[in-house]
Amino acid sequence: MGVGLGTAKLPHRLNPIRTFVDAKVKWVRDPYLDFAVEREKNLHQALSFKNQILFQSESNPSKSKSLSLSLASLLKPSLNLSTSSSKFFLRYPSFFSIFHPASALPPRVKLTPALLSLHYQESAIHTSLPHRSDAVNRLSRLLMLTGATRLPLYLIDRLKWDLGLPHNFVGSLLADYPDYFQVCEVEDVSTGRKELALELLSWREELAVSELEKRTNQSKRIAFPMCLPKGFELEKKVKDWVEEWQRLPYISPYENGFHLSPNSDQAEKWTVGVLHELLWLLVSKKTQRDNLFCLGEYLGFGSGFKKALKHHPGIFYVSNKIRTQTVVLREAYRKDFLVVKHPLMAMRYRYIHLLNKMPKTNRRKSLVVE
C-alpha cells in the first residue's frame, strides 16, 4: 500500500546501499521457545468456542449457556480445527460437557463450572480500569505504527488475541473512548472495495517512544538485543555484517522511514525496529507469521518483514509447532518463560492447566441427559 508514517521525513545522512551478505543463515531449533508455543496448542480454539457459547447466551438470554453441536461444527473452518468439533469437546472434558436436552433435541455442548470460574476472573481483568487503559494504549500505539493512524478492522481482528483485546472489543472497549477512536472506511487499493477501519483521532506523542528507547534512554545509537540459542554460531562474514548493521543509527518505528532506499541496511534496521515494537505490543510477544506478513504487506513493507526474520535469527525466532509458523521475540523470553508476564498471560496459563486436566471421573464417552 505504501503508506508513509505520519511524521515528516527525517534527514538521516547514513543510508548506505549495502545489501545483506551472500551467506545462508540457517534455522536452528530452539526447544524452549518451541515449548512456549506448543503449550498453547488448541487454547485459542477452545477459548473461541467458550466465547461463542457465551455470546449465544447473551444474545438469547432465555437459552442456557450452551451451543448445539451442529452449530459448533460450522465454526470448524474458521478455527482451523484438525478434528471434528464434537471430538474436540470430548478431548477436553474439564472445559466442555456434551449433553442431550430432555426435550430430545440434538446434543449440545456447555461450559464446565471450572471454565466459567476462570472466565469470570478473566472478565474482571478486562473490565478493570488499569487493563482498559493498557489495552487502549497498546491499540493506539499499533495504529501509530501504521503512520496513517488507521487500520482495517479485519487486520486488527487477526491480532486481537495477541493484543489481549476482549472478544467484542469494538462494543465493550472502544465505545467508551470516543475521543480516541472512530470507525471509518478505507479503500483497499488492490480491490477498490471499501473496508471498515479503526482510526486514532489524534497522535499521542507521549506514546511515540519505542520499548528500546525507553530502556536505553537515548534515541540514536541503539543496538537490538541478540539472543542466539546455545550451539548456534553465525558465519564470520554474517557476524561482521550484523555488528556493523547494529552500529547504524536507530530510527524510531514511530518515525517516517519510507524515504530510505528499500535495499539499504538503514532501511532494514528501521524495518526490524517496526517489527520489534509490534511484537513487544503483544501480550505474549509472539504471533503467527502470516499475521505479520498480512500487516506488513498492507503497510507497504513488501518483503521487508520476511527479510528481517531471515536475516536476524538472534532477534526473532520462527517456530514450526502447532501446524503453523509462529514468530517469537527472543529477548522477551528466558528459556520458555516470559520475562514480563502480562496479567492476561497469567490467566492463559491457568486456562492451559485446566485444559489439560482430566476429571477424576472421566465421562468422555458418556452423554448426560438434562
Separation between Cα atoms, residue 72 and residue 321, nearest integer Å: 25
Cβ atoms of 289 and 326 within 8 Å: the answer is: yes
Return the pLDDT at 25.
75
Q: Is the pLDDT of residue 367 over 70?
A: no
From residue 99, alpha-carbon distances to 45, 74, 246 in Å are: 20, 19, 59
For all residues of the chain together, what is the average pLDDT? 88
Q: What is the mean pLDDT of residues 128-135?
A: 96
Return the pLDDT at 11.
41
Band (214; pLDDT cuts 50, 70, 90): very high
Cβ atoms of 272 and 257 within 8 Å: the answer is: no
Dihedral angle sign, alpha carbons of residues 160, 161, 165, 166: positive
Q: Is the pLDDT of residue 9 over 70?
A: no
Q: Is the pLDDT of residue 12 over 50?
A: no
- Of 164-168, 184-188, 230-234, 352-356, which range is least confident? 230-234
Neighbours of 103 (CB within 10 A): 6
Q: 219: closest CA among 248, 252, 265, 266?
A: 252
Return the pLDDT at 365.
46
Q: Which has more pLDDT, 337 or 102?
A: 337
Cell 524495518 belongs to 271
Return the pLDDT at 19.
64
From residue 359, alpha-carbon distances to 93, 114, 326 in Å are: 7, 11, 31
Q: Which residues contact 364 (CB under 8 A, 6 or more apart)?
A: 90, 91, 93
Nearest 10 degrees: Cα torsion 94, 31, 278, 205: 100
Separation between Cα atoms, residue 42 and residue 222, nearest integer Å: 38
Q: Is the pLDDT of residue 67 over 70?
A: yes
Separation between Cα atoms, residue 340 and residue 184, nearest integer Å: 35
Quick one: angle between helices 304-311 and 289-299, nearest 10?
130
Q: Is the pLDDT of residue 194 over 80?
A: yes
Band (5; pLDDT cuts 50, 70, 90): very low
- Kind plus residue range of the DSSP H or E element containing 110: strand 108-111
pLDDT over 70 for what percent of the chain? 88
Q: Which residues contact 300 (CB under 8 A, 6 or more apart)?
A: 1, 2, 3, 258
Separation between Cα atoms, residue 139 and residue 146, nearest integer Å: 11
Q: What is the mean pLDDT of residues 280-304?
A: 95
Band (6; pLDDT cuts 50, 70, 90): very low
Band (363; pLDDT cuts 50, 70, 90): very low
Return the pLDDT at 15.
52
Band (63; pLDDT cuts 50, 70, 90): low
**DSSP β-bridge partners for residue 194:** 187
Cβ atoms of 355 and 92 within 8 Å: the answer is: yes
pTM metric for this prediction: 0.89
- Of 55-59, 94-98, 307-311, which range is least confident? 55-59
Separation between Cα atoms, residue 196 and residue 213, nearest integer Å: 33
Return the pLDDT at 247.
93
Band (245; pLDDT cuts 50, 70, 90): very high
pLDDT over 90 for what percent of the chain? 66
Q: Is the pLDDT of residue 233 over 90?
A: no
Return the pLDDT at 140.
97
Q: Which SS3 state, helix, strand or coil, does residue 334 take?
A: strand
Q: What is the mean pLDDT of residues 281-310?
A: 95
Q: Is the pLDDT of residue 358 over 80?
A: yes
Q: Is the pLDDT of residue 368 over 70?
A: no
Q: Is the pLDDT of residue 185 over 60?
A: yes
Cell 458418556 belongs to 366
Secondary structure (DSSP) of 49-83: HHHHHHHHHHH-TTS-SEEEHHHHHTTHHHHT-SS
Q: Which has more pLDDT, 187 or 88?
A: 88
